[in-house]
Structure 1
Amino acid sequence: MTAGDGDCPIGPTGEDLPGDQPISEVAVRGLVRDWFAALDRHDDVAVLLELLTTAGLAMHLPRRTVRSHEDFAAWYDETIASFFDEDHDVVEVKVTPTSPWHAEVELRVDWQCRMWRPPSANSVWVGVTVTEHWSVVMQGGRPKIRTCTVGGSAPMPGSAVPPATGPRPESAAA
């Protein structure tokens, strides 16, 4: 099942969550589904920014560490310029509430896409299984991602050599 499937076991969308409710596993699973579905569709960056907290943001993503909405927008623009036909299949989600307003999330995601590296005449298929760790906080009545660390990755059989799927060292992030 992929993140955008209506029958996805991740959970319902995060729409219409009451503003005074504490964080719940259902709401966090909705955030997970909304996040990966937006990435797969290459939604406008504004859609993704709505799923990120405005304070304390720290995302250790492939090729960059992001600490602001502006940083994320730059990373996202670079990403969608190189990768297409993306499919994030969320294989495993573990939600651990740590307070009424916070939760830790462990994810295992199979990511597949086509990748083009200029000036190549052709794109190549890339498939990797990655682990992610998120810290999620309630903000504005819904859960939002405060931190995200994309961890280890394992290429799928037959995959082209994937791009770096771990964050760059702080000193290399510009």
Structure 2
Amino acid sequence: MALTTELKTRDELDFGAWISLNNVQIVPLEINYFWSAFDNYLEFLTGFSGRTNVELETDAGKPTNSPGAIVRFDFQGSLVRDRLLYNDRQNYVWKMDIPEATNLFTLYIVTITAQKIDDNYTKVSITVEFVLQSQNREERAQALQTLKAYLPKRIGEIIKFLQHRDGQGFKLASLSELEISQLAQDFYEKLDQHAPPEEITPFLSLADNDFKMQFPSSTLHNHEEFNQWYKNAVNTFYDEIHAVKEMTVKCQADRADVNAIIHWEGSTWKAPNAYSKRVVADAQHSWEVVRSPDTFKPIYKSYIVHKLDFAPGSSKP
């Protein structure tokens, strides 16, 4: 699911602003197996990227794997101490904070929850709440950008931790129609928002040599070609709407073939025209979807738009 930002003040970069970031993902693992990642506090925190010199504090009788346990590490040039608040194995709620302010944060709280979907899939949510420490707006902006970059990686890193821990005993569920429906919803939400390209490309298997994204007027194979196409698209269309009207999914172990009809609308305007024009069409699509080796989320390996059926009275791009 998409990364969302909830603002507790008018401007998230105001000094002293309380900021909440949330990331939700459908995980192809049974809930109790996924939750076993939290069994060992030190091992769990060692699995996250961006951290070095990770150590468990054991002085003064501190607990090692229960509420109050503290793990310290270096992050972005600062010493950080994470304190476990609780691990509720019955209700699947895990929470930690920092016991004192750091160079980056006055306050920092992380809450992870899990909800069973079925015997193979779990809905996982990570919420990070914090107040940035610096009185310099540019420094606060940089810290916020860093957090927004790391947060979407965390659930995938938990899955990788389990994969590394259990070796051959680790097994993901096959791709499901539920996951692919969520992929389409999140992807089109970003397109309609005209999100930055770095928020779009994680949905695409651009590292594959045989990646293909094809439209009636162009075919894309790599980052450079996609970025140029996307730049042209967001500078041509506005007030866009993408919606899945129909979708047929054939899932295999590690891939899925999808046929879909996507309703698309967008407005265009060219000077010196007095009015904008509206494009309304149903597009016939076929996709090949695979699981990302980094995030374990479904991504498009091929994305083909075969035909646009324009509505009566629609403009044509």
Q: Please indicate the TM-score interval, normalised by the length of the shorter structure.
A: 0.7 to 0.9
8 A contact 1:14–1:30 mirrored in 2: no
Bigger Rg, which one: 2
Summarize deviations over 1:49-75 as a string: whole Å, max 9, x none: 000012121011243210002211110
Q: 1:15 aligns with which of 22, 25, 43?
A: 25
Where does structure 1 differ by over 4 angstroms across 4 or more consecutive aligned residues? none
Match of 1:9 in 2: none
Q: TM-score, normalised by structure 2?
A: 0.45
Say if 2:186 is the partner of 1:34.
yes
Say if 2:230 is the partner of 1:76.
yes
Greater CA drift, 101-110 or 120-129 = 120-129
Deviation at 1:14, TM superposition (A): 7.2
Match of 1:172 in 2: none
8 A contact 2:258–2:286 mirrored in 1: yes
8 A contact 1:14–1:142 mirrored in 2: no
More helix by share: 2
Deviation at 1:129, TM superposition (A): 0.9
Question: Which runs of 5 or more residues in structure 1 are unaligned?
Answer: 5-12, 164-174
Percent sequence identity is 27
Say if 2:278 is the partner of 1:125.
yes
8 A contact 2:216–2:307 mirrored in 1: no
Tell me how far apart the structure 2 counterparts of residues 62 and 38 of structure 1 sit (CA, whole Å): 22
Match of 2:129 in 1: none
Say if 2:211 is the partner of 1:57.
yes
Say if 2:287 is the partner of 1:134.
yes
Aligned residues, how many? Answer: 150
Tell me how far apart the structure 2 counterparts of residues 130 and 121 of structure 1 sit (CA, whole Å): 28
Task: Give the 3-state SS of the residue equivalent to 2:204 in structure 1.
Answer: coil
Tell me how far apart the structure 2 counterparts of residues 41 and 62 of structure 1 sit (CA, whole Å): 23
8 A contact 2:213–2:303 mirrored in 1: yes
State the AA in 2 paired with 1:24: S
Q: 2:239 aligns with which of 85, 88, 91?
A: 85
Match of 1:96 in 2: 250
Deviation at 1:120, TM superposition (A): 3.5
Tell me how far apart the structure 2 counterparts of residues 145 and 76 of structure 1 sit (CA, whole Å): 16
1:61–1:138: structure 2 CA closer, same or farther, 3 Å change rule?
same
Match of 1:45 in 2: 197
Task: Give the 3-state SS of the residue equivalent to 1:49 in structure 2.
Answer: helix
Deviation at 1:121, TM superposition (A): 4.3
Question: Comparing both chains, which one has the higher relative contact order based on Cα–Cα distances under 8 Å and sequence gaps of 6 or more?
Answer: 1
| Structural RMSD (CA) | 2.0
Match of 1:105 in 2: 258
Match of 1:67 in 2: 221
Q: TM-score, normalised by structure 1?
A: 0.79
Question: Which runs of 5 or more residues in structure 2 are unaligned?
Answer: 3-22, 29-158, 160-171
Tell me how far apart the structure 2 counterparts of residues 21 and 52 of structure 1 sit (CA, whole Å): 21
Within 5 A, what are the aligned runs for 1:140-159?
140=294, 141-159=296-314
Deviation at 1:22, TM superposition (A): 2.4
